[in-house]
Structure 1
Amino acid sequence: MAEPIVTTDRVVIVSDKQDGQVKQLRRAFRQRGRECVFCPLADIAFDTRRASGIDIPTLDGVLPAGVIVRSISAGTFEAVTRRLGILHALSHLGVPVWNSAKAIERCVDKSTTTFLLASAGVPTPETFAVEGPGNARAVVEREAARGPLVLKPLFGSQGRGIRLVRTAADLPEPDEMDNVYYLQRLVARAGPPYRDYRIFVSNGEVLGMMGRCADGWITNIARGATAEKVVGPLRQKLEELALAAASAVGTDFAGIDIVRGYEGNLLVLEVNSMPAWTGLQSVVPVRIAECIAEAMVARLDPARRERPAA
């Protein structure tokens, strides 16, 4: 007879390091009666000796009640494929994984994100993703007359590796981009200072939003932008658009980046499936980590989910 699969009450937080946000999550889960285990995804193994086929350090072959994915770390194609395979396997075994491997794959690959947004009717800048410098030059020569394009690493984050492309001469060599060119129409907007917006969505609800203000057109907090409160009627439009974007991509929680053009049109730039919230937390009263923990615990405990709000 096969060994039964055993599940613990503990939640695994997958992250490369125990930073402040991981500590916030652990504290929030503990306050709700759930202990957490911290573990880099690279340390979780496929192991057919285990009943589940998965071995998570410190759990001794037992499956967790749920998984929160904070980061999966850079690595070779083989390494990242294996790590995502672990998340797929946990979902296959019935373990709630936030965000799921499917959602992470959709968000990490910017070309898939923009495809899904456009398919769902969510406004997003014109985008082109091609392989090879010849195809990239053809796009630029065709499109640059209508305005500059922004070249982004397909799998990049925090504003790293972004550059402005006005002519084909601005395109980097293929090895700098792994031979994949993701080009997006630059949205003309007022500035300096330049602004865009980050909206944090969890479990179908907007938890908070911030404006990101910078002297340059790249407005990531990690690149020195400052966080601002968002007030006025713009909030409702941002909420509606962020919820539509999260739904289109299928995330349990996400950071949605939205830009407003000169004419007031709002466009979704990216959907981040492993968003940081330090900058956002500085301008909103809602405790992001506590909201994520509450939503996950409600998923794990139906009685809690159905309990009337205090």
Structure 2
Amino acid sequence: MSLHGWIIYNGHLPATKFLDFAEWLQLSASNKNITTQIIKNNELLSVLSSDSLDIVQEIIIDLPDFVIFTDKDIYLAKQLELLGVRVFNSAQSIAVSDDKIATYQILAQHRLPIPKTIISPKIFSNLNQIDIGFSDKIVKILGFPMIIKEAYGSFGEQVYIVKTVDEMTKKVRELAGKPFIFQEFIDSSYGKDIRLHVVGNQVVASMLRTASNDFRANVSAGGTMEPYFPSSFERETAIAATKAIGADFAGVDLLFGPNQTPIICEINSNAHIRNMYDCTNINVADYIIDYITDWFEHK
């Protein structure tokens, strides 16, 4: 089977790790005799009119058989889908993954294990006074310490721990105008979690992340990593979470709940893979390419 794909990443981001992810995918595709082009999202313009929609590019080339979308430009992903291109992951799954509130709502709908979560009522940023009387109810439900987490954020950023009413009130005022949640603090998982890479119906690699001086375990925030062998329940939970948001593949972060029961922390539809390879010597890109090949063989 002769396939040609695009691997799209964000051309506005200066960090090399975004291109690095795309290059790993391209190499794995080449090893399977699949041709791909790495394209920046800002090299493709979505054009709409009353009688058509199109993709405009600097060099005119035919649309691909598939796109691996490593970016969060969901409008571009949707444009490609409307043009009939199979996008891995879909625009909808990327949008849900990128919005932590939407993620938790869907996980709760599927009765999957998550921390107890309260969505902050919408607050407009231009208000001189903010009525935070609702915070009393939140404290009664969640207690202290608690997590405040912005709906949008990556690499463990935009996640805060608050320990008093004053700290909570200050953070609520700071975040006015942004969507965010209040969340139960899982103290049994302080400074540690597991990242599982799911591709299709299997967990292909996993690692334990540990931080010595932070409640967050992200490697990008200074945490350390080591290979981890998940239990069947942990694997099933990660796969179910990935399917719940409609993703073909994802990095699923699990916390250690009471009695070591897994609790879903986050799902990343664009999870980078170099750290996982450095930790486990497993190349997740190979599994992603195999999954795409299998999809076309059985569609």
TM-score normalised according to structure 2 size: 0.85
Name 2:204's counterpart in structure 1: 207
The aligned residue for residue 37 of structure 1 is 37
Among 227, 232, 235, the residue aligned to 1:236: 232
Query: Aligned residue pairs: how many?
Result: 280
Structure 2, gaps ≥5 residues long:
12-17, 124-129
1:113 lines up with 2:103 in the alignment: yes
Partner of 2:188: 189
Matched, 1:264 2:260: yes
Residues 235, 106 of structure 1: alpha-carbon distance in 2 compared, 3 angstrom cutoff: same
User: Which residue does 1:53 correspond to in 2?
Assistant: 54
2:25 corresponding residue in structure 1? 25
Question: Cα gap change, 1:195/1:149 in structure 2, threshold over 3 Å: closer, same or farther?
Answer: same
Partner residue of 1:97? 87
**Quick one: which amino acid aligns to residue 11 of structure 1?**
G
> Which residue is 2:195 aligned to?
198
Which residue in 2 is equivalent to 1:223? 221
* Residues 53-104 of structure 1: per-residue CA shift (max 9 Å, x gap): 122443x1521111111123xxxxxxxxxx4222112122321111111001
Question: Whole-Å Cα distance in 2 between the matches of residues 291 and 223 of structure 1?
Answer: 27
Report the AA paired with residue 212 of structure 1: R
1:161–1:292 distance in 2 versus 1, CA, 3 Å: same
Of the three residues 234, 247, 253, the one matched with 1:251 is 247
How large is the Cα RMSD of the aligned pairs? 2.5
What residue is the counterpart of 1:280 in the other structure? 276
Give the fraction of aligned pairs with identical amino acids, expressed as a percent. Answer: 21
1:197 partner SS:
strand
Whether the 8 Å CA contact 2:23–2:38 is kept in 1: the answer is no
Quickly say closer, same or farther: Cα 1:51–1:221, change in 2 above 3 A. same
Deviation at 1:255, TM superposition (A): 0.5
TM-score, reference length from structure 1: 0.82
Q: What residue number does 1:80 align with?
A: none
Letter in 2 for 1:259: L
My pick for the range that moved more, 23-32 or 110-119, is 23-32
Deviating runs (4+, > 4 A) in structure 1? Answer: 48-52
Measured at CA, do residues 127 and 173 of structure 1 come closer, stay the same or move farther in structure 2, by a change above 3 Å?
A: closer
What do residues 27-53 of structure 1 show as CA deviations (whole Å, max 9, x unaligned)?
111222222222222331123699761
Question: After alignment, is 176-185 or 270-279 more displaced?
Answer: 176-185
Residue equivalent to 2:64: 64
2:157 aligns with one of 129, 141, 160: 160
